[in-house]
Amino acid sequence: MTDDDIRDLLRRVRTIALVGASPKPDRPSNEVMRFLQTKGYRVIPVNPGLAGGEINGETVVAALAEVAGPVDMVDIFRASEAAGQVTDEAVRLAPDKGFRAVWMQLGVRHDAAADRARAAGLQVVMDRCPKIEFRRLLD
């Protein structure tokens, strides 16, 4: 994706499902979640081990299937090996949940899953952080 594409995506997105959310303030997923919340995004934490709890004022859900739609983007804080399964789940659920984009965090790439998501009409960003890109392109 070009800088213009990422800028446009960050401007259009309002609700994000963050897969791999952590309640620990020093963890990157928590830091990114808090930052995005301060910029006006609603961020829904997804973590099966913490379902029913709360992170940064939002109730944690166990899986993407449990996210109340519509949600614009899925942000993946999981290892590259797991990103394929999460991306495929996002593609499968996109018609019901409204997912329009999949964002894989820094160090996370899954080219085959990205190709499948693009073929299904979703935008894909890999190996980038929305916090960094927001600061670089919109602040």
CATH of the domain at 86: 3.40.50.720
Residue 13 predicted with pLDDT over 90: yes
Q: Can you count the helices (H) and strands (E) in the chain? A: 5, 7
pLDDT above 70 as % of the chain = 100
Range of the domain at 52: 3-137
Residue 4 predicted with pLDDT over 90: yes
Residue 1 predicted with pLDDT over 90: no
pLDDT confidence of residue 69: 80
Residue 119 predicted with pLDDT over 90: yes
Q: What is the pTM of this model?
A: 0.96
Residue 78 backbone dihedrals phi, psi, to 5 degrees: -135, 165
Q: In angstroms, rounded to a whole number, what is the distance separating the alpha carbons of residues 77 and 79?
A: 7
Q: In angstroms, rounded to a whole number, what is the distance separating the alpha carbons of residues 40 and 12?
A: 12
In the chain, the number of structural domains is 1
**Residue position matching structure tokens 């519509």:** 70
Residue 130 predicted with pLDDT over 90: yes
pLDDT confidence of residue 18: 98
H or E element: which one contains 36?
helix 28-38
H or E element: which one contains 134?
helix 130-137
Over the stretch 14-52, which tens digit does the pLDDT of each residue have? 999 999 999 999 999 999 999 999 999 999 999 999 999
Question: What residue ranges in the chain does DSSP mark as E strands?
Answer: 15-19, 42-46, 54-55, 58-59, 73-76, 101-104, 123-125
Within 13 A of 108's CA, how many CA atoms are on the CB side?
Answer: 28
